[in-house]
């Protein structure tokens, strides 16, 4: 009797202390496709294992444009979530709003500076202090190909834009869709930046999308890239406008289409469908970009909240995100590579291994560039101006490439 009272007392005390630290952690993200949902489920599971509750705040819409709109209205109304998927220079914009929690305490305790590559850590800091924690590194300049489609069409997987049009013509002639594309501004921009990189190289890319140099944006080389980009449209199907990116990936998975230009979150869809790289599908750099790497780092910021239990929850979330176990399982599902240095890659497939090697080698060669389409190279207003110009041009049959380049300069200038 006495013992059971003691046991009851202990378990009540334990229960109370768990409750004192348990928090309902609301997390905003836009990971709703098959592969994405599997990935984020791992984070939920690990946070729950630390005694917290996960409150899902998922806003559908690839690339996160809708999620950002919803987030802004929540923050403006004084009701931010505990954590949100925010990345790139936007982290600085949110830092300026003075709404982010300072994560330096946990960052110092866990030695984040030593765990992260410099290029990743820099993005996570606002005024020298950590305000964000990275989950991964995505590579954007990939092309996903279905080998069966290529075989049926007698085509070869291209490594240059000239070869690309030869292969695309063959696939089209064989009655299949050459390029699976979702006509949404962020997907248009994703394809466009790969064309620019392939046509003009990393130095030009940086001048255009990081330095926003007017002469580069409106140059013969940019006009050439715009022409190639527009020419791809003829190789997409009539169902393309408005299509979600993962449905375009599904077209490559099921052999309806030959190729897709998309970051390696597309691999998450192939993985979720049980497909094996090198056998069921091929990952290659977009034509002309094998020596370059367009990076896109997903990260979470925590909002500055008064609730002590929530602060514990936020720290536990941040710590979970950088743990080797999470970095491995999440990125195996997501298609990306770990953000954390020196993690074993033996469980990863060849596409991820190539990505990890290229991340290091391109950093050395100065051909590692931030993705414009995924908010890594500019503030969101500039990105929006580029999106608008690129999409309008892509969808029009009357705007010339010369006029589009001219407009690009003006739109970018107006957004500064
Ligand atoms: C994000 C990825 C996401 C993709 C499609 C990108 O901007 O970085 O994590 O999978 O959008 O939604």
Question: Residue 8 pLDDT > 70, yes or no?
Answer: no
Q: Residue whose CA is closest, atom 8 of ligand 1?
A: 298
Give ligand 1 pocket residues (Cβ under 6 A).
Answer: 30, 36, 62-64, 138, 245, 265, 296, 298, 374
3-state secondary structure (DSSP) of residue 371 = coil
- Give the max Cα distance, the chain: 88
Which helix (H) or strand (E) element contains residue 69? Answer: helix 65-76
* Ligand 1 atom 12, closest CA: 62
Report the pLDDT value the prediction gives residue 190, as an integer from 0 to 100: 98
Mean pLDDT along residues 55-76: 95
- Looking at residue 21, what is its pLDDT? 73
pLDDT per residue over 171-225, tens digit each? Answer: 999 999 999 999 999 999 999 999 999 999 999 999 999 999 999 999 999 999 9
Instruction: Say if residue 44's pLDDT is above 50.
Output: yes
What does the pLDDT read at residue 14?
Answer: 45
What percent of the chain has pLDDT above 70? 95
Give which of 331, 342, 246, 270 is closest to 42, Cα–Cα: 331
Q: What spacing in Å lies between the alpha carbon of 397 and ligand 1's midpoint?
A: 29
Contact 153, 176 (CB under 8 A): yes
Domains belonging to the chain, first-starting first, are: 23-138+296-351 (3.40.190.10), 140-293+373-415 (3.40.190.10)
Whether the CB-CB separation of 150 and 167 falls below 8 Å is answered with yes
Q: Is 379 left (phi over 0), alpha (psi -120 to 50) or beta?
A: beta
Q: Indicate the pTM of the whole model.
A: 0.94
Q: At what angle do helices 324-334 and 308-322 cross, to 10 degrees?
A: 70
Share the mean pLDDT of the chain. 95
Taking only the tens place, the pLDDT of each residue in 10-38 is 444 444 444 457 899 999 999 999 999 99
Q: Tens digits of per-residue pLDDT, 368-385?
A: 999 999 999 999 999 999
pLDDT digits (tens, 9 = 90+) for 99-122: 999 999 999 999 999 999 999 999
Q: Is 82 left (phi over 0), alpha (psi -120 to 50) or beta?
A: alpha
User: For a substitution probing ligand 1, which of 35, 68, 374, 375 has the most ligand atoms within 8 Å of its CB?
Assistant: 374
């Amino acid at each position: 009797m006495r013992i059971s009272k003691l046991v009851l007392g202990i378990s009540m005390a334990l229960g109370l202390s768990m409750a004192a630290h348990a928090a309902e952690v609301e997390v905003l993200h836009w990971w709703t496709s098959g592969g994405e949902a599997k990935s984020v489920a791992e984070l939920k599971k690990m946070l729950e294992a630390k005694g917290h509750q996960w409150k899902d705040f998922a806003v559908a819409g690839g690339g996160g444009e809708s999620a950002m709109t919803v987030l802004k209205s929540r923050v403006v109304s004084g009701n931010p979530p505990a954590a949100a998927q925010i990345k790139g220079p936007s982290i600085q914009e949110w830092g300026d709003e003075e709404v982010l929690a300072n994560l330096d305490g946990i960052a110092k305790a866990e030695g984040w500076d030593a765990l992260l590559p410099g290029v990743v850590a820099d993005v996570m800091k606002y005024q020298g202090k950590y305000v964000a924690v990275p989950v991964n590194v995505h590579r954007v300049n990939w092309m996903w190909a279905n080998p069966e489609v290529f075989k049926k069409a007698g085509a070869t997987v291209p490594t240059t834009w000239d070869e690309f049009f030869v292969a695309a013509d063959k696939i089209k002639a064989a009655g299949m869709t050459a390029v699976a594309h979702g006509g949404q501004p962020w997907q248009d921009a994703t394809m466009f930046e790969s064309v620019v990189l392939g046509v003009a190289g990393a130095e030009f890319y940086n001048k255009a999308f990081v330095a926003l140099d007017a002469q580069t944006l409106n140059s013969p080389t940019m006009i050439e890239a715009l022409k190639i980009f527009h020419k791809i449209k003829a190789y997409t199907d009539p169902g393309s406008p408005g299509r979600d990116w993962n449905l375009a990936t599904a077209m490559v998975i099921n052999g309806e289409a030959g190729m897709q230009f998309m970051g390696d979150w597309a691999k998450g869809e192939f993985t979720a469908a049980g497909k094996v790289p090198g056998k069921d599908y091929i990952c290659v750099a977009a034509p002309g970009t094998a020596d370059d790497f367009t990076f896109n780092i997903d990260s979470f910021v925590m909002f500055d909240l008064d609730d002590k239990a929530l602060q514990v929850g936020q720290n536990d979330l941040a710590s979970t995100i950088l743990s080797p176990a999470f970095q491995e399982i999440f990125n195996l599902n997501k298609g990306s590579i770990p953000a954390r240095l020196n993690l074993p890659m033996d469980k990863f497939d060849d596409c991820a291994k190539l990505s990890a090697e290229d991340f290091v080698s391109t950093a050395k060669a100065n051909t590692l560039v931030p993705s414009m389409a995924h908010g890594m190279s500019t503030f969101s207003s500039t990105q929006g101006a580029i999106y608008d110009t690129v999409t309008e041009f892509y969808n029009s049959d009357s705007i010339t490439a010369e006029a589009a380049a001219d407009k690009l300069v003006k739109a970018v200038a107006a957004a500064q």
